[in-house]
Amino acid sequence: MNRRDFLITTSAAALVPRIALASAPVELIAQPVSAQILPKGEPITPMLGFNGSTPGPELRARQGDVFDIRFLNQINEGSAVHWHGLRISNAMDGVPGMTQDVVEKGGDFEYRFRAPDAGTFWFHSHNRSWEQVARGLYGPLIVEEPTPPDVDQDLVVMIDDWRLTESGALADGFENMHDQAHQGRLGNFARALVEPNAPIRLSDRLRLRLINVATDRIFPVELAGIEGKVVALDGMPLVSPQELSGLVLAPAQRADIIVDVVSTNSVSIFFPTRDAPYLLGEVQVEGKNTTRQPTDIPTLPPNKAALPDIGNAVSLTLTMEGGAMSRRMVQGMTGGGIWALNGQSGLKDTPFHSFENGQTARIRLVNETRFAHGIHLHGHHFFEVGGDDSLGAFRDTTLVEPGETRDILCVFDNPGKWLLHCHMLGHQAAGMKTWVEVV
Ligand code: C2O
Ligand code: CU
């Protein structure tokens, strides 16, 4: 372990701009940036970002508003922007080779869509994402409810890790086969970026929108100095708010929590590790909110969603295979892909399945590997099915542990071609991806 390993940090210095979308087009420029990833006074890190920073600007609008975004690519290779978790039209999904052409260096593309759901989403590059996202090409996208819950501050918390060299640069080897065959590219430095708009006070009620933007690391999180509940997962409100304990965020997953500040010192976010809790981020508490009355944590209003037609659902199985210590490694070493879904590595001409618009599917996700996978479906959310066959959370990314089997129920009601892939981006790079079609 070098000295960067398990460094402790507090919230960062540079303020990430917020862009409120009225209806006027917004420019989103992918470009090289430098970022103070390490604590102040330590070296800066050359990265990629949007509009001069990584994370990119916070894009914020109200439910039903139109996002009109002119994307300009000023990095040295092709790119495109995917709006993760938004149930929008296929042509706006940002997947080069599937829904649009790659936006070449110097090129641009206009993304225009209406935000159907209120919630916490994010955007990221979807071209060579394992490298472009690791280099910083992502940002938060927030859609507010028509009547947002009553809180003192509504804050995005972006959780990421980076693999840094002694000089503060990103280590190269973004396609390292050893990483890809294991849990992916794990960083040696991690941070939860929180930037309060005003001092945080004792008794304040906060809405924290946690987003795991790491390419490959799963973050269990423990919170200190606050009490409250999880009110939404992957942007979608929970039918009844859940306890904060045991919260785990796979890459790309989000959790909205509403909490009351109960400490006079600080609000802290920890990542429990085998050795000790790693402090991801911390905000000092200053003063006291004397006007807020204690009330129950509210339930957020649901977004519109078709209920699955369970009786007529088509049953499908998607088996995850490959990785270190698997037979498939031989194929991986000879260029056939380290990871596969139902024996296929990478995208083929034919989809995993072609659904009729509105059809319900029950998909059994079988993880036959020794690693965890966060399976993400584009353009839709799906229900996680509980062990007792109950409908669980309505998510766009589900974490399937090694050896685990999980059923999901999805109403395929968004026409087009949609990716279905592991959001451990190193696994995606090494073949763990397929696609479905809704016609
Ligand atoms: Cu977050 Cu295929 O994407
Ligand atoms: Cu995976």
* Strand, coil or helix: 62: strand
**Relative to the alpha carbon of 130, which ligand is closest?**
1
- Overall domain count for the chain: 2
| Nearest-10 Cα torsion for 279, 282, 284, 289 | -120
Ligand 2 centroid to Cα of residue 131, in Å, is: 16
Ligand 2 centroid to Cα of residue 45, in Å, is: 27
Mean pLDDT of 1-6: 39
Whether 67 maps to a domain, the answer reads yes
**Relative to the alpha carbon of 180, which ligand is closest?**
2
Whether 115 maps to a domain, the answer reads yes
CA-CA distance, 35 to 46, in Å (whole number)? Answer: 6
Cα–Cα separations (whole angstroms), residue 2 to 161, 192, 299, 311, 384: 16, 21, 45, 56, 40
Whether 49 maps to a domain, the answer reads yes
Say yes or no to pLDDT of 220 above 70. Answer: yes
* pLDDT value, residue 3: 35
Q: Which residues does 295 contact at the CB level (< 8 Å), separation at least 6?
A: none
Q: Which atom of ligand 1 is nearest to the CA of 84?
A: 1
Say yes or no to pLDDT of 275 above 90. Answer: no
Ligand 1 centroid to Cα of residue 126, in Å, is: 7
Comparing 332 with 10, the larger pLDDT belongs to 332
Residue located nearest, by CA, to atom 3 of ligand 1? 84
Does residue 84's CB lie within 6 angstroms of at least one atom of ligand 1? yes
Tokens of 153: 């501050």
Ligand 2 centroid to Cα of residue 235, in Å, is: 22
How do strand 382-385 and strand 405-412 relate by DSSP bridges?
A: antiparallel
CA-CA distance, 258 to 123, in Å (whole number)? Answer: 23
- 90-98 contact pairs (CB < 8 A, 24+): 90/379, 90/414, 90/415, 90/416, 90/417, 90/418, 91/416, 93/378, 93/379, 93/416, 93/418, 94/126, 95/126, 95/378, 95/419, 96/126, 96/127, 98/347, 98/417, 98/419, 98/435
* Strand, coil or helix: 57: coil
Unique residue bearing structure tokens 């990430």? 16
**Weakest-pLDDT range from 12-16, 180-184, 281-285, 397-401:** 12-16
Unique residue bearing structure tokens 């009553």? 150
For residue 318, give the CATH number of its domain.
2.60.40.420
Does residue 421's CB lie within 6 angstroms of at least one atom of ligand 1? yes
CA-CA distance, 26 to 114, in Å (whole number)? Answer: 14
Model confidence over 126-169: pLDDT tens digits?
Answer: 999 999 999 999 999 999 999 999 999 999 999 999 999 999 99
**Relative to the alpha carbon of 251, which ligand is closest?**
1
**Relative to the alpha carbon of 422, which ligand is closest?**
2
CA-CA distance, 74 to 315, in Å (whole number)? Answer: 44
How much of the chain, in percent, has pLDDT values that exceed 90? 90
How do strand 18-20 and strand 58-62 relate by DSSP bridges?
A: parallel
CA-CA distance, 173 to 248, in Å (whole number)? Answer: 27
**Residue pair 75/48 in contact by the 8 Å Cβ criterion:** yes
In terms of residue numbers, what domain contains 31?
18-145
**Weakest-pLDDT range from 213-217, 272-276, 322-326:** 272-276
Model confidence over 325-335: pLDDT tens digits?
Answer: 998 888 877 87
Does residue 163's CB lie within 6 angstroms of at least one atom of ligand 1? no
Residue located nearest, by CA, to atom 1 of ligand 1? 84
* pLDDT value, residue 331: 80
Q: Which atom of ligand 1 is nearest to the CA of 378?
A: 2
Whether 157 maps to a domain, the answer reads no
Does residue 249's CB lie within 6 angstroms of at least one atom of ligand 1? no
Say yes or no to pLDDT of 14 above 60. Answer: no
CA-CA distance, 321 to 329, in Å (whole number)? Answer: 10
Comparing 100 with 1, the larger pLDDT belongs to 100
> Could you tell me the pLDDT band of residue 95, with boundaries at 50, 70 and 90?
very high
Does residue 419's CB lie within 6 angstroms of at least one atom of ligand 1? yes
Mean pLDDT of 98-122: 98
Does residue 372's CB lie within 6 angstroms of at least one atom of ligand 1? no
| Domain final residue, candidates 114, 145, 176 | 145
Model confidence over 21-65: pLDDT tens digits?
Answer: 766 789 999 999 999 999 999 999 999 999 999 999 999 999 999
Whether 122 maps to a domain, the answer reads yes
Whether 218 maps to a domain, the answer reads no
Whether 29 maps to a domain, the answer reads yes
Nearest by Cα to 54 from 110, 130, 123: 123
Q: Which atom of ligand 1 is nearest to the CA of 124?
A: 1
**Relative to the alpha carbon of 321, which ligand is closest?**
2
Q: Which atom of ligand 1 is nearest to the CA of 252?
A: 1
Q: Which atom of ligand 1 is nearest to the CA of 397?
A: 1
| Domain final residue, candidates 145, 172, 187 | 145
Tokens of 3: 């000295």
Q: Is 349 exposed, middle or buried (0-12, 13-18, 19+ CB in 10 A)?
A: exposed
* Strand, coil or helix: 420: strand
**Residue pair 382/365 in contact by the 8 Å Cβ criterion:** no
Does residue 362's CB lie within 6 angstroms of at least one atom of ligand 1? no
| Domain final residue, candidates 145, 168, 198 | 145
Whether 159 maps to a domain, the answer reads no
